[in-house]
A and B are shown apart, each in its own frame.
Chain A
Amino acid sequence: MRTTQKKIWITTTIFLLLLIGCSQEKSNFKLEQSVFIEDNQAPGLPIYSEWGYNTFGAYIDREVFRSNRTTSPIKVISKKDTLSVTINGVIASISQEQNINEIPLSMTLSWAKEKHYLSHTELLQFDNQKIDLSAENLKITVLKNGEKQPFSILGGEITIQKARKLIVDKRWLRTIVSGTFNLKATLNKQPISIRSGRFDFGIGYENFFYLK
């Protein structure tokens, strides 16, 4: 009798274990609202990509400057004689208590140009272009925590590796601009280096503005 009971217990246990192992699950993949994939080679920064992930990042000396989820990472403003590009992000640091501190920082590149850019579609001409940041027709202004900071470029370069169309249902929705940047400058009269910079922006109706 005991042997029979033992057999029933063993069989029941195996059944239950297998039932747990085989439970029917629906695979559910949560969406990332922004595509931030960390670069293993440059911790804290997004990977270099050309898919319109709307991210950017760079090291300012040893601090991480990168886009975040809540702020639009780029706004392009085209005026009659100027093209302004503002990148909005945060200086991210980890405190001794392992809390992440984020200080808002935005940089605006104002570029005196004779050409009028009426639409984001015209940004396609920047494909495979290099921009010398020490050129006289360029100016950078920096806002840290909402306050303007004295900033002066010593030298540097933006390389636009790729500018291409993002077409949705046969309509040109955005222009994707991707590339890298490095520069040296003075911030609050202190020399700084901005290195390992990378960006991947989708520029369209929502972040391209033409001001007459």
Chain B
Amino acid sequence: MKKITLLLLLYCLTYMSWGQQKNHFLIGVEVGSTSIIGERSDNWQIRQTAAPNADRLIETEAYGSITYFGIKPEYRFLGNKMSIASGIRYVNITADIEPSTSYYSYNTTGQEYLFLRYQTNGSSMYFAKVKQIKEKKSYISVPIEWQYIPFRIGNFGFYGKVGAELGVKIYDNTQIAFLSKEMQQEEKNILDMISPKTNPIYANSYMGVGCKMTIRKLIEIGLELNAPLAHTKSNTSILDEKFVGNIQLSVQIPLTNWEEESDNEIK
């Protein structure tokens, strides 16, 4: 972990110092978020609690999200219309399964549970009553992006971009909340038996559009929407991911006074 952090720090410093020797460099931070759209994975064998004529219907809800933040140096050329950017990102993927009675809340007891099948052999099937299964994975990734700003209106610049990123897993944690304390003590054994596997690599390619607002010819605040072109599967064991587009917010500052230079170039 220390080695990875050190390498990443060196990478950033090298990139930034290289950037300071050029004219059209910016440094920025970015934050993005998305829901993972997909179906509950068969990695977790869940059975319902409701009997056919029960007055209370328990549903299984599986939900996942990706959030990330990163540092992104950017190089602009062709009169600030084209840019290439890279950097480093911390990607956090969380997903959970839990019972839901949202549509029947008048009957909610707070003790809803699902049956999780965790072992099967020739003579027995083992289930446990669970309140929640929660998973958290973290990745460190390196993105690379090409951006084209075809036009600006006042302080607003509109752009399109394509990008890709490649990352490795640095943190992996799965927790099960059982209904009974007795079973909670067995959490580690049960997780070992189920042993949900997730992809150690996180990679995706995407395209997006966005808008940047320049404040006082210094700070750029951007908002963009990205749609996936391709992405790795099984980055969570809870959902079979189908769509992972995202909304991203970024703030960038120039490392040099590039606005003046670009104005001169245009003149």
Asked if A and B are interacting partners, one says: yes
CA distance A29 to B53 in the complex (A): 19
Of the candidate stretches A12-20, A38-46, A84-92, A145-153, the one touching chain B is A12-20
For B38, B62, B64, B225, which residue has the most chain A Cβ atoms within 10 angstroms? Answer: B225
Q: Which of A22, A29, A69 contacts B246 (CB 8 A)?
A: A22
Number of interface residues of A (CB under 8 A): 37
Least Cβ–Cβ distance between B181 and chain A, in angstroms: 11
CA distance A11 to B157 in the complex (A): 11
Least Cβ–Cβ distance between B31 and chain A, in angstroms: 15
For A18, A27, A35, which residue has the most chain B Cβ atoms within 10 angstroms? Answer: A27
Least Cβ–Cβ distance between A130 and chain B, in angstroms: 18
CA distance A19 to B223 in the complex (A): 12
Q: B125 near A166 (CB under 8 angstroms)?
A: yes
Q: B129 near A168 (CB under 8 angstroms)?
A: yes
Tell me which residues across on chain B come within 8 A of A11, comparing CB atoms: 158, 209, 211
Q: A168 near B127 (CB under 8 angstroms)?
A: yes
B170 on interface, CB distance cutoff 8 Å: no
Q: Which of A7, A34, A69, A166 contacts B127 (CB 8 A)?
A: A166
Q: B48 near A32 (CB under 8 angstroms)?
A: yes
The chain A residue sitting closest to B150, CB to CB, is A7
Q: B126 near A167 (CB under 8 angstroms)?
A: yes
Tell me which residues across on chain B come within 8 A of A69, comparing CB atoms: 52
B110 on interface, CB distance cutoff 8 Å: no
Q: A164 near B123 (CB under 8 angstroms)?
A: yes
Secondary structure of the B contact surface, majority rule:
strand
B176 on interface, CB distance cutoff 8 Å: no
CA distance A7 to B149 in the complex (A): 12
Q: Which of A18, A30, A124, A164 contacts B208 (CB 8 A)?
A: A18
A212 on interface, CB distance cutoff 8 Å: no
A177 on interface, CB distance cutoff 8 Å: no
Tell me which residues across on chain B come within 8 A of A34, comparing CB atoms: 52
The chain A residue sitting closest to B159, CB to CB, is A11
Q: B52 near A19 (CB under 8 angstroms)?
A: no
B172 on interface, CB distance cutoff 8 Å: no
CA distance A166 to B121 in the complex (A): 11
Given the known inter-chain contacts A21-B227, A27-B63, A29-B40, please indicate yes or no for A167 contacting B124, CB distance below 8 A. yes
Contacts of B165-221 to chain A: CB distance below 8 A:
178-180, 182-183, 208-209, 211
For A28, A51, A176, which residue has the most chain B Cβ atoms within 10 angstroms? Answer: A28
Q: B182 near A170 (CB under 8 angstroms)?
A: yes
Contacts of A68-103 to chain B: CB distance below 8 A:
69-70
CA distance A50 to B235 in the complex (A): 31
A residues in contact (CB < 8 Å) with B = 4, 7-8, 11, 14-15, 18-19, 21-22, 24-35, 51-52, 69-70, 124, 127, 164-170, 173, 176
The 10 closest A-B pairs by CB, nearest first: A31-B48, A18-B225, A165-B124, A22-B245, A24-B35, A168-B127, A11-B158, A167-B126, A33-B52, A164-B123
What are 28 A-B pairs at a CB distance below 8 A?
A7-B150, A7-B158, A8-B153, A11-B211, A15-B209, A18-B208, A21-B245, A22-B246, A22-B247, A25-B37, A27-B36, A27-B37, A27-B40, A27-B61, A28-B59, A29-B40, A29-B61, A31-B50, A33-B52, A33-B54, A70-B52, A124-B123, A164-B124, A167-B124, A168-B128, A169-B129, A169-B179, A170-B183
Known interface pairs A27-B239, A33-B48, A167-B125; 18 further A-B residue pairs with C-beta atoms within 8 A, sorted by A's residue number: A7-B151, A7-B158, A22-B245, A25-B35, A27-B38, A27-B39, A27-B40, A27-B64, A28-B100, A31-B48, A32-B48, A34-B52, A124-B123, A165-B124, A167-B124, A168-B129, A169-B180, A170-B183
